[in-house]
């Protein structure tokens, strides 16, 4: 039986769904092993960790853990790895997850493999093993060899759906890590809160627009539809490059990766840059004049036609039914 | 989307400007059941059309390119997808200034408004130009900028709306299917295999731009072209451009001496270059639509190649230096071995057509050419012989050849190209077995396509002094010329000359149907006694010239066709296109079985007489007769004919025996003043004095035998291609006649003697007006050269019938100067009009 | 002020990325090369910082000699110095890469003084390891935050304020300089080079250092194409007539609020 150490990602006390993805992945990949979850700082409710399969929860308590700091979290994780010598250290490959794992790995001078989709059999126990990970944002895969007693990996965000194990609350322990303030210099000093409501990465519906929308103003109907559906507007890189939408609306490899229930891709050709940001969507509806556009052939549903005609008609229809 | 068809009349591959315009024109001409395929998406499938700079300079020295450019510009205008931006070619060198006067002359010829501008005048039109670095400009107000993608959509939609066309994008052609037919070296197209299914069809047209040769190769055919890079960078924004609120508000500037152009595109400037090294790609190196970062033909920019262009561009327009390079590509376009397009049916496969190596500037016009060609058997809008894909010999279809020639001529895209300019690369592809002899005589060779022909012999330099000849006054007129040519000419008229004519293309038709088939091709009667010959036009169905050549009756079932090296490919294609497939006619190309030596001049009979016992008198070897005799112990055929106006023979000698015969004739001619004589005499001076016409110069499909003076008194009873139209032309009479002009005063305004080089110099009235006939055909010089024996510089060309009289005064424009000229012959000879020398 | 940006030469592929026959690399036969959009923003930020604060910017890459193209591109935008950390094409895993870059930075700093700020792209466009910047920072004992989309450098107080987008807002970090940031696209709108900039970039001397570093513990076995996503796209209509069917679908998927 091996020890698997999983980083709990939370934002000032509320557990992120990505943590549950990591747990779900770990249950599948390391069946029967001990799944220890490390929590840096306080979390409002530890119950989901057990529910999703954690066998033990370790809470690090320290004044400096009241808010996120990549360096501080990295120190705590490194310390825990040092103490526990787990066979595997795991987090979800989110922005924070990858960052904290890299911080810990750098401190320990251990390898870290980001964005893994699959691990080899007996991964935990072999010190020479392999993983399959994503490259090019998901356009390519890499089989990578890894030589390490402790294997630090992140699991590709959205690669697994969080599935409850309906587990009991896991026993938890606390400890006070030693944090060297000298190496905790990257601190959050302030937060700016965007307007309330769903964000691009959490929206249940994303209404996306591409170059074919034609102008900044022409996004108005897309905005209206998104609002009607409680969703957000997203866009392709061509749109941000044209200055029609802010970069924060960009769906793609270097923009936001989305995973809504439905992505409505309007006039988007489906360049690889964009596709890798959208491919985690549960369902995709493509609206395009070109039946052979990449986005259309990759979508679950399509409507062939001009978005400038179709979106207003859909808005009408939605209004009629509500 | 409609079901993918399993059959169609026509499949057109490629939905760029050419394919789209082609289906539109074909639909207008009544074609139905057409399918247009492209492997990319619409409206921009990713070929060269999608990144074209989309401007048209309507002035070109070449007639086909100029007139089809104007024709295309007008089609864009008619569809309202065109803006007349105007355009200026600027000169930085004196040599270029001279070239601009040549441009003025061509503009006059084609009726395009143009002006020579001073640097200050250029700056008035283009205020951001640095007028210190230029010497002047050539301004053409009708230079236009077009929307080639939109035009393509309009043309394509016209055909689909008419119910004549189905279009399938994202459909890749995997194979072109053919079946065997009973014609040597030829198959027939039967269909195309695509990734969506197979379509059986009667016709396939390859309009695939840079991919065309790859598609043709699928049917074991060739469309000799290579994808080549044209670099382009879009820089901006610039306020002065943005303030025009227009796609294009300033004239396009072609910086000719740096091989660059600057073309406004809204707020930015597109800087395009033809000045970098030739960057050629194999079609297999072009990525698919999926693999390409931009489009397949917008390849990664190789900045190092463009750097020198940027430096010179900034010299011309300082503001370019501070503008951002927003987009830069190695855009692919098509280059052929001779810089002309590939149009028409490919010679290897019946009903497989090429519409390739066509740029946006001539796309709609060239598409019309191909559509008419498919419909009427030959185009009506213009004679496209220089673009005819069947012009290429096999040696010209290899990648090695295509690449070498494209490499050589890419830099000439904006270069100054002399009408007689010769190729450097890929020489000696076809040489006579006399090469050792002609080399030893100091032959200076010109090429006739792949064939090397001695143009003059340096060992005749002594004759220059003898006849008191000299170099010409200007370097341009002297370029690709030697006074030895005129010396050889005068010697031939005085004594005799022997000419290596091995480049003649010799094709035998044999079998029980040979004579009847030959008759069907020819205007003049071929079915004459064995031992006679026929000089005859071959016409197209509309009665215009396709060829002119000689046909020798060598046996009851044996006709030998002899034609010029420039037309061998086209003529062989024509024969194979029409020859019966029932086995009654056998075709064989015998070109490399024979060497032909021409022996002409007043001393020719005496010279040949020393080497044979045969009767060489006008009775024993009458004009037009073919006799098998022995010369210097070798069996040869002698053919009494002359293209130079003096008596003599073409002597056909088995390949390996020719050097011996050449030496024997040379020896026999020693005391008779015989000199080796080049094609400079044969192809220009000799024939010009006699008013003999040349295919591709005086003879084009736009003219008929009546106008060319080649109509015989009677029309033969047998049917032949173009007969109906020919009869109608005889009935109607000529609208124009081919004439010979003598230049009365060769001095230009600077007092320099000028020698008009052919290349379509316009013939003008004494008032300086363009001359057009009742069909709208313009009078231009078709051949120009010295008539050394006549004593004047001569030009040939067509004049409207009312002006075609000896003594009519006209002017010829050359280098933007006017030279007075007088008509000295109409359909006849200026020199020895009664042919007494021939009868000697 | 001295700033450094580290970039990586990567192919600029289209919608389909091909792999070489040996499975070790992207087939770049007909591809151009670039740096990731994150790194483009890093270069732009350095140029802007110099414009704002004076001083000099340096660009560094670890890669083959061909990576000179990416260095010159950065120079054409206004970066003054360029360093090629010359590396053969054998495997450079994140640990080895970071170690070589850290050594090189130490060499550069020993010669000309410390960099106030060093920028990395948040992750490389190709391998996406998410760690080289962090490892370098650790070796140089400097603070680092990733995913930065806003930078204010306060030289007087030796600190840098950095903004990071998170769900629902932004986190504002403060780091003492010298510091390192992993930046993301959206940080700024990168400029394009001017012609004069390009011509000037050809005169920039490229300092070449040999990349050294022990082999790391991660290795490439092979690159693979991801499994073809077989999507049988259901066409639910054409044009405006499809509107009711679209709304039916929204209803069926439970997104019609």
Whether the CB of A243 is below 8 Å from some CB of chain B: the reply is no
Q: Is residue C229 included in any domain, yes or no?
A: no
Number of domains in chain A: 2
For an interface test with C, give the residue of A95, A196, A242 to mutate (most C CBs within 10 A). Answer: A95
Report the neighbours of A using a cutoff of 3 or more CB pairs below 8 angstroms. B, C
Q: Is residue A123 included in any domain, yes or no?
A: yes
CATH code of domain B7-47+149-224+338-404: 3.50.50.60
pLDDT tens digits, residue range C219-228?
A: 999 999 998 7
Min distance A140 CA to chain B CA atoms (Å) = 14
Q: C19 has which bridge partners?
A: C26
Whether the CB of A286 is below 8 Å from some CB of chain C: the reply is yes
User: A231 by DSSP, 3-state: which?
Assistant: coil
Every domain of chain B and the residues it spans: 7-47+149-224+338-404, 82-145+227-335, 505-592, 734-832+836-840
Identify the residue whose tokens are 């012999």.
B457
Q: Is residue C257 included in any domain, yes or no?
A: no
CATH number at residue A65: 3.40.50.620
User: B628 by DSSP, 3-state: which?
Assistant: strand
- Tokens (6 digits) for B462: 């002594």
Q: Which residues of A touch B170 (CB under 8 A)?
A: 292
Termini Cα distance of chain A: 55
Residue A309 predicted with pLDDT over 80: yes
* Chain B CA closest to residue A272: B290
- Tokens (6 digits) for B519: 């008759």
Whether the CB of B294 is below 8 Å from some CB of chain A: the reply is no
Interchain CB contacts (distance < 8 Å): B and C: 71
Inter-chain residue contact C194 with B323, CB threshold 8 Å: yes
User: B658 by DSSP, 3-state: which?
Assistant: helix
Positions of chain B with pLDDT under 70: 1-2
Q: Which residues of B touch C15 (CB under 8 A)?
A: 289-291
Identify the residue whose tokens are 């045969």.
B614
Closest CA to B256 of B232, B274, B282: B274
Helix (H) or strand (E) holding B312: helix B303-316
CB-nearest to B321 from C12, C33, C195 is C195
Q: Is residue C198 included in any domain, yes or no?
A: yes
Residue B611 · residue B643 · CB < 8 Å: no
Closest CA to A254 of B456, C41, B247: C41
Q: Which residues of C touch A282 (CB under 8 A)?
A: 253
Measured CA to CA, the distance from residue C146 to residue C157 in angstroms comes to 22
Q: Is residue A137 included in any domain, yes or no?
A: yes
Q: B594 has which bridge partners?
A: B654
Whether the CB of B284 is below 8 Å from some CB of chain C: the reply is no
Q: Is residue C9 included in any domain, yes or no?
A: yes
* Chain C CA closest to residue B285: C30
Range(s) of the domain holding residue A262:
205-321
For an interface test with C, give the residue of B39, B290, B297, B328 to mutate (most C CBs within 10 A). Answer: B290
Confidence of residue C89 (pLDDT cuts 50, 70, 90): low
Identify the residue whose tokens are 């960052």.
A99
Indicate whether A168 and A283 sit together in one domain: no
Packing angle of the helix pair B514-521, B568-578 (nearest 10 deg): 120
Q: Is residue C183 included in any domain, yes or no?
A: yes
Min distance A135 CA to chain C CA atoms (Å) = 5
Whether the CB of A94 is below 8 Å from some CB of chain C: the reply is no
Whether the CB of C235 is below 8 Å from some CB of chain B: the reply is no
Inter-chain residue contact A291 with B42, CB threshold 8 Å: no
Tell me the CATH architecture of domain B734-832+836-840: Beta Barrel (2.40)
Q: Is residue A188 included in any domain, yes or no?
A: no
**Burial status of residue A309 (CB atoms within 10 A of its CB: 0-12, 13-18, 19 or more):** middle
CATH number at residue C133: 3.40.50.620
Indicate whether A92 and A211 sit together in one domain: no
Identify the residue whose tokens are 């057409």.
B34
Indicate whether A78 and A216 sit together in one domain: no
Min distance B41 CA to chain A CA atoms (Å) = 7
Inter-chain residue contact C30 with B299, CB threshold 8 Å: yes
Tell me the CATH architecture of domain B82-145+227-335: 2-Layer Sandwich (3.30)
Whether the CB of B320 is below 8 Å from some CB of chain C: the reply is yes
Q: Which of residues 232-251 of A touch C (CB under 8 A)?
A: 237, 243, 246-248, 250
Inter-chain residue contact C33 with B299, CB threshold 8 Å: no
Q: Which residues of C touch A294 (CB under 8 A)?
A: 15
Q: Is residue A193 included in any domain, yes or no?
A: no
Q: Which residues of A touch C244 (CB under 8 A)?
A: 317
The CATH superfamily of B505-592 is: Aminomethyltransferase beta-barrel domains (3.30.70.1400)
Inter-chain residue contact C191 with B324, CB threshold 8 Å: yes
What's the mean pLDDT in C90-109? 93
Number of domains in chain C: 1
- Give the pLDDT confidence score for residue B1 in this predicted structure: 46
CA A251 to chain centre: 13
Termini Cα distance of chain B: 76
Indicate whether A47 and A177 sit together in one domain: yes
Packing angle of the helix pair A95-108, A70-84 (nearest 10 deg): 60
Q: A266 has which bridge partners?
A: A209, A287
> Edge-to-edge strands of the sheet including B55-56?
B55-56, B144-146, B82-84
Indicate whether A169 and A286 sit together in one domain: no
Whether the CB of C37 is below 8 Å from some CB of chain B: the reply is no
* ipTM metric: 0.93
What is the overall mean pLDDT for chain C?
A: 93
Q: Is residue A143 included in any domain, yes or no?
A: yes
Indicate whether A153 and A238 sit together in one domain: no
Whether the CB of B541 is below 8 Å from some CB of chain C: the reply is no
Inter-chain residue contact A302 with C236, CB threshold 8 Å: yes
Q: Which of residues 139-198 of A touch C (CB under 8 A)?
A: 139-148, 154, 183, 185-194
State the DSSP string of B662-693: HHHHHHHHGGGTEEE--HIIIIIIHHHHHT--
Indicate whether A168 and A216 sit together in one domain: no
Helix (H) or strand (E) holding B254: strand B252-255
- Tokens (6 digits) for A109: 């001078």
Q: Is residue C181 included in any domain, yes or no?
A: yes
For an interface test with B, give the residue of A292, A294, A297 to mutate (most B CBs within 10 A). Answer: A292
- Tokens (6 digits) for B755: 């020698």
Q: Which residues of B touch C40 (CB under 8 A)?
A: none
The torsion region of residue C102 among left (phi > 0), alpha (psi -120 to 50) and beta comes to alpha
For an interface test with A, give the residue of C45, C101, C138 to mutate (most A CBs within 10 A). Answer: C138
Q: Which residues of B touch A293 (CB under 8 A)?
A: 41
Residue A105 · residue C131 · CB < 8 Å: yes
CATH number at residue A235: 3.40.50.1220
Inter-chain residue contact C168 with A193, CB threshold 8 Å: yes
Whether the CB of B301 is below 8 Å from some CB of chain C: the reply is yes
Min distance A293 CA to chain B CA atoms (Å) = 8
Helices (H), chain A: 17-29, 47-51, 70-84, 95-108, 220-228, 237-241, 272-278, 294-298, 307-321
Helices (H), chain C: 37-53, 68-76, 94-112, 132-139, 195-201, 243-252
Measured CA to CA, the distance from residue C240 to residue C236 in angstroms comes to 11
Whether the CB of A301 is below 8 Å from some CB of chain C: the reply is yes
Whether the CB of B1 is below 8 Å from some CB of chain A: the reply is yes
pLDDT tens digits, residue range C127-181?
A: 999 999 999 999 999 999 999 999 999 999 999 999 998 877 889 999 999 999 9
Q: Is residue A120 included in any domain, yes or no?
A: yes
Measured CA to CA, the distance from residue B67 to residue B62 in angstroms comes to 8
pLDDT tens digits, residue range A288-298?
A: 988 878 889 88
Q: Is residue A260 included in any domain, yes or no?
A: yes
Report the neighbours of C using a cutoff of 3 or more CB pairs below 8 angstroms. A, B
Min distance B236 CA to chain A CA atoms (Å) = 14
Indicate whether A22 and A134 sit together in one domain: yes
Inter-chain residue contact A111 with C128, CB threshold 8 Å: no
Measured CA to CA, the distance from residue B207 to residue B726 in angstroms comes to 33
Measured CA to CA, the distance from residue B473 to residue B486 in angstroms comes to 15
Inter-chain residue contact C29 with B285, CB threshold 8 Å: yes
DSSP tag of A202:
T
Min distance B711 CA to chain A CA atoms (Å) = 58
Indicate whether A21 and A106 sit together in one domain: yes
Q: Is residue A65 included in any domain, yes or no?
A: yes
Interchain CB contacts (distance < 8 Å): A and C: 272
Q: Please give the sequence-ordered ranges of beta strands (E in DSSP) within chain C, or none if there are none.
A: 2-7, 10-12, 32-34, 56-63, 81-86, 117-121, 144-154, 159-166, 169-176, 179-183, 206-210, 218-224, 234-238
- Tokens (6 digits) for A252: 């793609």
Q: Which residues of C touch A255 (CB under 8 A)?
A: 185-186
Range(s) of the domain holding residue C100:
2-210
Closest CA to B115 of B86, B92, B145, B158: B86
Whether the CB of A291 is below 8 Å from some CB of chain B: the reply is yes
Q: What are phi and psi of A11, to 5 degrees?
A: -115, 105
């Amino acid at each position: 039986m091996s020890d698997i150490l999983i980083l709990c990602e939370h934002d000032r006390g509320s557990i992120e769904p990505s943590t549950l993805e990591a747990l779900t992945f770990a249950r599948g990949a390391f069946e029967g092993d001990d799944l220890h979850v490390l929590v840096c700082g306080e979390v409002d409710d530890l119950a989901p960790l057990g529910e999703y399969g954690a066998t033990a929860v370790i809470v690090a308590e320290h004044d400096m853990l009241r808010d996120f700091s990549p360096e501080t979290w990295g120190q705590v994780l490194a310390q825990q790895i040092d103490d526990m010598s787990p066979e595997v250290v795991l987090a979800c490959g989110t922005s924070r997850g990858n960052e904290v794992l890299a911080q810990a790995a750098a401190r320990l001078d251990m390898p870290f493999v980001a964005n893994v989709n699959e691990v080899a059999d007996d991964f935990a126990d072999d010190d020479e093993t392999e993983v399959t990970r994503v490259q090019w944002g998901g356009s390519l895969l890499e089989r990578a060899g890894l030589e390490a007693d402790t294997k630090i990996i992140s699991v590709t965000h959205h690669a697994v759906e969080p599935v409850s194990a309906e587990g009991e609350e896991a026993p938890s322990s606390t400890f006070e890590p030693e944090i060297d303030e000298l190496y905790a210099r990257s601190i959050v000093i302030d937060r700016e809160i965007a307007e309330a409501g769903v964000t691009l990465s959490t929206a249940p519906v994303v209404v996306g627009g591409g170059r074919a929308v034609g102008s900044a103003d022409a996004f108005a109907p897309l905005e209206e539809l998104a609002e009607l559906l409680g969703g957000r507007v997203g866009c392709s890189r061509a749109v941000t490059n044209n200055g029609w939408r802010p970069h924060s609306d960009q769906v793609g490899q270097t923009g936001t990766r989305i995973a809504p229930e439905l992505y409505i891709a309007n006039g988007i050709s489906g360049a690889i840059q964009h596709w890798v940001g959208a491919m985690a969507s549960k369902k995709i509806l493509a609206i395009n004049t070109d039946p052979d556009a990449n986005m259309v052939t990759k979508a679950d549903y399509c409507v062939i036609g001009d978005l400038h005609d179709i979106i207003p008609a859909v808005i009408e229809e939605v209004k009629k039914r509500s | 989307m409609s079901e993918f068809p399993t059959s169609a009349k026509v499949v057109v591959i490629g939905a760029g400007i050419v394919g789209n315009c082609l289906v539109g024109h074909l639909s207008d001409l009544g074609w139905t059941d057409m399918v247009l395929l492209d492997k990319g998406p619409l409206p921009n499938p990713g070929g060269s059309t999608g990144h074209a700079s989309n401007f048209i300079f309507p002035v070109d020295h070449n007639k086909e390119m100029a007139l089809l450019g104007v024709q295309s510009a007008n089609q864009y205008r008619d569809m309202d997808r065109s803006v007349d931006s105007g355009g200026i070619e600027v000169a930085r060198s004196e040599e270029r200034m001279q070239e601009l006067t040549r441009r003025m002359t061509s503009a006059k010829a084609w009726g395009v408004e143009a002006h020579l501008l001073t640097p200050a005048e250029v700056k008035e039109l283009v205020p951001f130009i640095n007028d210190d670095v230029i010497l002047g400009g050539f301004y053409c107000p009708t230079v236009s900028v077009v929307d080639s993608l939109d035009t393509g959509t309009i043309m394509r939609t016209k055909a689909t709306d008419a119910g004549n066309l189905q279009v399938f994008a994202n459909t890749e052609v995997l194979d072109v299917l053919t079946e065997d037919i009973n014609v040597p070296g030829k198959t027939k197209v039967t269909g195309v295999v695509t990734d969506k299914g197979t379509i059986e069809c009667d016709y396939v047209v390859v309009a695939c731009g840079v991919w065309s040769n790859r598609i043709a190769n699928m049917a074991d055919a060739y469309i000799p072209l290579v994808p080549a890079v044209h670099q382009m960078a879009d820089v901006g924004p610039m306020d002065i451009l943005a303030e025009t609120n227009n796609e294009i508000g300033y004239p396009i500037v072609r910086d000719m001496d740096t091989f660059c152009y600057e073309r406004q595109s809204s707020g930015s400037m597109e800087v395009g270059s033809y000045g970098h090294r030739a960057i050629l790609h194999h079609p297999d190196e072009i990525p698919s639509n999926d693999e390409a970062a931009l489009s397949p033909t917008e390849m990664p920019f190789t900045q190092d190649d463009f750097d020198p262009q940027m430096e010179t561009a900034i010299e011309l327009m300082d503001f370019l230096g501070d503008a951002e390079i927003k987009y830069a590509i190695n855009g692919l376009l098509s280059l052929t071995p001779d810089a002309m397009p590939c149009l028409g049916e490919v010679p290897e496969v019946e009903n497989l057509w090429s519409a390739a190596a066509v740029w946006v500037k001539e796309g709609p016009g060239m598409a019309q050419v191909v559509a008419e060609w498919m419909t009427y058997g030959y185009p009506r809008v213009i004679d496209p012989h220089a673009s005819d894909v069947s012009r290429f010999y096999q040696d010209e279809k290899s990648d090695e050849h295509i690449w070498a020639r494209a490499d050589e001529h890419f830099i000439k895209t904006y270069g100054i190209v002399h009408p007689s300019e010769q190729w450097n690369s890929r020489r000696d592809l076809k040489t006579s077995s006399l090469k050792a002899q002609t080399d030893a005589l100091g032959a200076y060779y010109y090429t006739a396509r792949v064939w090397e022909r001695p143009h003059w012999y340096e060992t005749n330099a002594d004759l220059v002094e003898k006849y008191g000849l000299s170099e010409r006054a200007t370097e341009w007129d002297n370029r690709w010329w030697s006074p030895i040519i005129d010396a050889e000419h005068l010697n031939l008229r005085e004594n005799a000359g022997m000419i290596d004519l091995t480049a003649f293309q010799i094709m035998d038709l044999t079998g029980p149907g040979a004579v009847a088939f030959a008759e069907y091709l020819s205007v003049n009667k071929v079915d004459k006694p064995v031992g006679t010959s026929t000089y005859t036009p071959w016409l197209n169905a509309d009665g215009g010239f396709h060829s002119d050549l000689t046909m020798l009756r060598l046996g009851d079932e044996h006709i030998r066709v002899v034609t010029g090296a420039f037309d061998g490919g086209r003529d062989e294609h024509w024969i194979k296109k029409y020859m019966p497939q029932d086995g009654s006619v056998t075709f064989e190309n015998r070109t490399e079985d024979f060497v032909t030596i021409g022996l002409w001049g007043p001393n020719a009979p005496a010279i040949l007489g020393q080497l044979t016992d045969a009767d060489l008198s006008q009775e024993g070897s009458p004009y037009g007769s073919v006799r098998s005799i022995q010369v210097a112990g070798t069996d040869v055929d002698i053919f009494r004919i002359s293209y130079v106006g003096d008596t003599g023979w073409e002597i056909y000698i088995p390949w390996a025996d020719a050097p011996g015969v050449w030496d024997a004739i040379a020896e026999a001619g020693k005391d008779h003043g015989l000199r080796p004589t080049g094609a400079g005499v044969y192809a220009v001076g000799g024939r010009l004095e006699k008013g003999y016409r040349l295919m591709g110069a005086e003879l084009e499909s736009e003219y008929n035998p009546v106008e060319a003076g080649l109509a015989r008194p009677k029309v033969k009873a047998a049917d032949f291609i173009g007969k109906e139209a020919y009869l109608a032309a005889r009935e109607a009479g000529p609208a124009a006649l081919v004439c010979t002009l003598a230049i009365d005063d060769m001095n230009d305004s600077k007092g320099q003697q000028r020698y008009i080089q052919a290349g379509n110099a316009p013939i003008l009235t004494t008032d300086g007006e363009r001359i057009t006939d009742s069909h709208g055909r313009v009078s231009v010089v078709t051949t120009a050269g010295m008539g050394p024996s006549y004593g004047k510089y001569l030009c040939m060309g067509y004049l409207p019938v009312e002006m075609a009289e000896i003594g009519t005064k006209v002017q010829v424009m050359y280098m933007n100067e006017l030279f007075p000229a007088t008509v000295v012959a109409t359909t006849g000879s200026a020199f020895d009009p009664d042919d007494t020398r021939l009868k000697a | 002020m001295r700033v450094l940006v580290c970039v990586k030469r990567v192919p600029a592929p289209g919608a389909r990325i091909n792999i070489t026959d040996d499975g070790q690399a992207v087939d770049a036969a007909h591809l151009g090369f670039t740096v990731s959009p994150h790194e483009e923003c890093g270069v732009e930020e350095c140029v802007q910082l110099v414009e704002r604060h004076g001083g000099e910017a340096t660009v560094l890459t670890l890669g083959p000699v061909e990576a000179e193209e990416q260095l010159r591109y950065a120079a054409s935008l206004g970066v003054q110095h360029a360093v090629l950390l010359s590396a053969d094409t054998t495997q450079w895993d994140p640990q080895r890469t970071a170690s070589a870059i850290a050594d090189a930075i130490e060499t550069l700093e020993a010669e000309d003084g410390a960099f106030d700020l060093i920028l990395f792209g948040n992750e490389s466009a190709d391998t996406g390891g998410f760690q080289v910047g962090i490892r370098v920072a650790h070796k140089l004992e400097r603070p680092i935050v990733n995913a930065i989309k806003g930078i204010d450098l306060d030289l007087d107080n030796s600190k840098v304020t950095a903004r990071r987008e998170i769900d629902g807002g932004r986190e504002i970090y403060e780091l003492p300089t010298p510091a390192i940031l992993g930046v993301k696209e959206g940080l700024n709108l990168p400029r394009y080079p001017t012609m004069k900039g390009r011509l000037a970039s050809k005169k920039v001397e490229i300092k070449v250092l040999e990349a050294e570093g022990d082999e790391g513990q991660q290795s490439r076995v092979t690159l693979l194409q991801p499994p073809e996503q077989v999507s049988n796209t259901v066409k639910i209509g054409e044009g405006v007539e499809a509107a009711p069917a679209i709304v039916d679908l929204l209803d069926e998927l439970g997104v019609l609020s």
